[in-house]
Amino acid sequence: MKSLGAKFSDTQLLKLKDVSEVVGIDGSKISRAALRLGLNQIQAMASRDLDKAKELVLINDARSR
């Protein structure tokens, strides 16, 4: 596997750590699953409405900073 090199906000890192502790699974596995789930959601929305998919991405990017 290759490293993505993405940067995460402190809030995202804390949330990742919390979910990892609650579920009892390594943070890397949680983040890979979250990325896959999120990409699937974006892809599904883009197949229905590309503008809404773009809006979803941009709004959530702003919220995650």
- For residue 5, being part of any structural domain is answered with no
**51/3 Cα distance (integer angstroms):** 30
User: How do residues 8-44 score in pLDDT, each as one tens digit?
Assistant: 889 999 999 999 999 999 999 999 999 999 999 999 9
The more confident residue out of 50 and 6 is 50
User: How do residues 41-56 score in pLDDT, each as one tens digit?
Assistant: 999 999 999 999 999 9
> In this structure, which amino acid lies at residue 11?
T
Provide the residue range defining the domain that includes 49: 10-63
Q: Among residues 28, 1, 6, 7, which one has the least CA distance to residue 17?
A: 28
For residue 31, the model assigns a pLDDT of: 93
**39/35 Cα distance (integer angstroms):** 6
- For residue 3, being part of any structural domain is answered with no
**32/28 Cα distance (integer angstroms):** 6
Q: How many domains does the chain have?
A: 1
- For residue 42, being part of any structural domain is answered with yes
**31/14 Cα distance (integer angstroms):** 12
Q: Is the pLDDT of residue 6 over 90?
A: no
